[in-house]
Chains A and B, each alone.
Chain A
């Protein structure tokens, strides 16, 4: 069953059509990649799905509910979380606090309760801290909770962003180039990690990725965008052998060889 569906979704910026009449279906518990050259509209798609942009035409459905037009925080409540291409952490907060913000919508305490330090609030805070530490451990940041996010090395910042997104307990996780700037060993580790998210936590993954090897290794399904239009879709093998993809997207022989190799 498809958990995320867009129907004829269009997003324009002035005269520029960033996404044109996109039909996309993401199956539940799939790892689904979106690829395409720079400016193809991949990140715009993410921004529309998370409610940061409102599509000009068409519909977005998530888990049987129409979500276009909802505010980003409402969409987050429905179970969509994301990471960003250029890591966007709360730089001047500690790693633990970053994850605690991710837990925000699962906490109930009000400011009055916090001021009065009621037993319920204390209990909840204790639980939240334990949960946040558990999530840090899950992504491999055990013991790093008290460091400021901006002082973490790059690879750990990526992990922290993931922990923060996972704290919202998403059904669908949008990953915007999760392996950008990583060396082969780190990339392999990330691939394993993304698989774990799907296999152990049952989270559906929608992925933007430039690393063709990553895309071809982990994707169940691949959608190819070019100039805001879907030009191909299917399993990694089907997409790899689609002449339109080879022609329009992969371009030169060198890239083609690398991608297909």
Chain B
């Protein structure tokens, strides 16, 4: 428990010194009372207490005690940090160790008096965390949901305010938010209780499933209708900023769906995936641009199929040399391919055609029957339709003969080949179709920005796409969408914490791999298996017993 406390203490010191706490302090959870920065500081000893109580296996008292010690240790670390700062000038090394931060950490007390208060506060939060670890899920789950809802409201308050902008919604707005400030206490309390109550209801009804529920098919229909309406309404309600964020999420979803064919289904690691996105974007740029590099002045709609085709061919061309390469070596080889494409478009040799670092400019917006897709709110619908089409194609492929062949080579290439699967054609189709999906994204990207430069196609994008499909759940189509919403959408929405983006990003990736390596929404196979449990519990129990005996023997 000491050690748990020290680890979390280090985390607390780190996020403080890195400036995250201070940055979050600028955002109220309850106006004038509590900031998100303070919530973060309090959450760390709480998490410490929770972890310690979880790990200790003794009596209830022992677990609570462990939580107390672990929480207090975090407080001690923070207190020591405050004291240390009074002795040495930390600012020389840590630019973010500002007076305001230490004002916050010490609660305005002199440095010598700060640590008892910090230890006490840490201990209390540790106790709360330990209580959470010991209490049953039906109590903690609703509380956790309520707290997350309240915290989300605090973090995304600007977005909520944007939605509540119309004068007709003014009463709601004024009730939820202090004019020109953060959320009101009553608003927060209402959000917290309401979502907690909903979660509690849901938890209570789970035991009696299907009590007043519609048949599954109708339920699914109902959810799809709600989903479509929500998707259609979002940019109207949220304004251009939200629409812009959603377009970017959509573009990453398109790339994610493509890479998911390669990595998630066929098991072919690809770190140069951004190249296909670039190829799609450049193709549309060159074919439609009215600037100096434009070669055809085609319409967007004529250029898209060509862009998809060119990306597909590029995918196959990448695939041919790396056919015989497996695993880690494949990652390196594809990494090279991505960089080659970027350097080619950047090169002086191709400057007359591709514009070098200046890129291709003056790409007109798509026009359909006299309607111009000008702003992000229009392009949003284009992106949603494109993502839906591509997701449908991916879904059809997944359950097809080809999809099964992809999964087979992911699982065991040699066995798949011995069963008559032609590795060459199956792998090239994975590269080609995956690249084609990314090409669709690139085409939309080109018209969204109105110009394409080599600089937009950094290695980082390939890595982000890979990260989002891992976080979402390898081989899972809904997982790709959730992954890009979480890893791309959230950071975009929280732009003012931009400098901490990759700090949080990295932490999320590490935490995900430790706590939920299968991803947020794992692939269908596991779910299908869960369904099988419901259908034939006896059979499965027998299988489980058999497996256990095998494993034991």
Contact = CB atoms under 8 A, between A and B. Distances in A.
A146 B528 contact: yes
A101 B429 contact: no
A44 interface: no
B525 A148 contact: yes
B421 A111 contact: no
A147 B420 CA distance: 24
B525 A168 contact: no
A125 B535 CA distance: 23
A107 to B, nearest CB: 5
A178 interface: no
A158 B359 CA distance: 58
A202 to B, nearest CB: 20
A164 B411 CA distance: 14
Contact of A144 (B422, B526, B531, B539): B539
A114 B397 contact: yes
Interface string A55-86: 00000000000000001110011000110100
B550 A153 contact: yes
Interface in A154-175: 154-156, 164-165, 168
A63 B429 CA distance: 32
B104 to A, nearest CB: 48
Contact of B401 (A76, A82, A109): A109
Interface in B412-433: 412, 414-423, 429, 433
B396 A101 contact: no
B398 to A, nearest CB: 9
Interface stretch (B2-10, B49-57, B135-143, B402-410): B402-410
B393 interface: yes
B433 A111 contact: yes
A151 B416 CA distance: 20
A94 B528 contact: yes
B532 A101 contact: no
B543 A72 contact: no
Nearest to B402: A111
Contacts of B539: 143-144
B417 A114 contact: no
Contacts of A257: none
B405 A101 contact: yes
B540 A147 contact: yes
Interface string B536-551: 1001100100110110
Contacts of A91: 411
A147 B429 CA distance: 28
Contact of B397 (A111, A148, A153): A111
Interface in B448-475: none
B550 A111 contact: no
A104 to B, nearest CB: 6
A146 B404 contact: no
A24 to B, nearest CB: 20
A121 to B, nearest CB: 8
Contact of B411 (A92, A146, A152, A155): A92
Contact of A101 (B400, B404, B536, B546): B404
A156 B420 CA distance: 23
B407 A97 contact: yes
Interface string A88-105: 111111100100111011
A104 B543 contact: no
B536 A76 contact: no
A154 B416 CA distance: 21
A105 B547 contact: no
Interface in A19-63: 50-52
Contact of A76 (B402, B418, B526): B418
A73 B423 contact: yes
Question: Sorted from nearest, which 7 A-B pairs have the closest CB atoms?
Answer: A114-B400, A153-B546, A105-B420, A76-B420, A90-B411, A146-B532, A72-B417
Interface of B: 393, 396-397, 399-405, 407-408, 411-412, 414-423, 429, 433, 525-526, 528-529, 531-532, 535-536, 539-540, 543, 546-547, 549-550
18 contacts: A71-B422, A73-B419, A73-B421, A84-B415, A97-B407, A97-B525, A101-B405, A104-B419, A105-B421, A111-B397, A111-B400, A114-B397, A143-B536, A151-B529, A153-B546, A154-B550, A155-B546, A168-B420
Given A91-B411, A92-B407, 8 more contacts: A73-B420, A90-B411, A111-B433, A117-B396, A144-B543, A146-B535, A147-B529, A168-B419
